[in-house]
């Protein structure tokens, strides 16, 4: 996959928008969930969306495969959803739970994310391919 300078700049812009979207969603959910739960929900939703977008992109160009994905997916997947989901925030919050003596919550958050996010991505892919 070749990414031009203009693609790179658009990915950066979309990533910034995804980060703003994550911050907004974190603010909305923070009244109902613990911060680690908020990031868990955001990462699960982002995984579902990226799986769906990937399946949709493959459905648009089934003969080219993943090596030549449409630029719209690259911007949406790498940019927007890359900024929306975050491993670094997830890792920090697991660490904070652990340091606060909430080892069980830290392990549930870490294990749940590692298991749930790939499953959500697979579900999104199945939904997209089944819809097409």
> What is residue 74's predicted lDDT score, i.e. its pLDDT?
82
Query: Does 49 or 87 have the greater pLDDT score?
Result: 49
Spatial separation of the C-alpha atoms in residues 81 and 83, rounded to whole Å: 5
Helices (H), the chain: 5-29, 35-60, 71-73, 82-84, 87-99, 103-131
Spatial separation of the C-alpha atoms in residues 121 and 51, rounded to whole Å: 4
Any idea which of 12-16, 19-23, 31-35, 60-64 has the lowest mean pLDDT?
Answer: 60-64
Spatial separation of the C-alpha atoms in residues 95 and 109, rounded to whole Å: 10
Q: Which residue has the tokens 């097409």?
A: 132
**Per-residue pLDDT tens digits for 36-49:** 889 889 999 999 99
Cβ atoms < 10 Å from Cβ of 16: 13
> What is residue 78's predicted lDDT score, i.e. its pLDDT?
86
> What is residue 65's predicted lDDT score, i.e. its pLDDT?
54
- In three-state secondary structure terms, 96 is helix
Spatial separation of the C-alpha atoms in residues 35 and 41, rounded to whole Å: 10
Please report which confidence band the pLDDT of residue 54 belongs to, taking 50, 70 and 90 as the band edges: confident
Q: Looking at the predicted structure, is the pLDDT value of residue 68 above 90?
A: no
Write down the pTM of the prediction. Answer: 0.83
């Amino acid at each position: 996959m070749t990414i031009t300078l203009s693609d790179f700049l658009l990915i950066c812009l979309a990533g910034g928008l995804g980060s703003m979207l994550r911050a907004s969603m974190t603010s909305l959910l923070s009244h109902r969930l613990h911060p680690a739960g908020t990031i868990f929900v955001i990462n699960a939703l982002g995984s579902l969306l990226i799986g769906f977008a990937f399946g949709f992109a493959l459905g648009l160009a089934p003969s080219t495969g993943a090596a030549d994905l449409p630029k719209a997916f690259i911007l949406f997947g790498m940019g927007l959803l890359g900024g929306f989901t975050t491993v670094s925030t997830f890792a920090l919050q697991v660490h904070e739970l652990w340091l606060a003596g909430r080892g069980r919550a830290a392990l549930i958050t870490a294990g749940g994310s590692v298991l749930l996010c790939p499953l959500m991505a697979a579900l999104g892919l199945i939904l997209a391919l089944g819809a097409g």
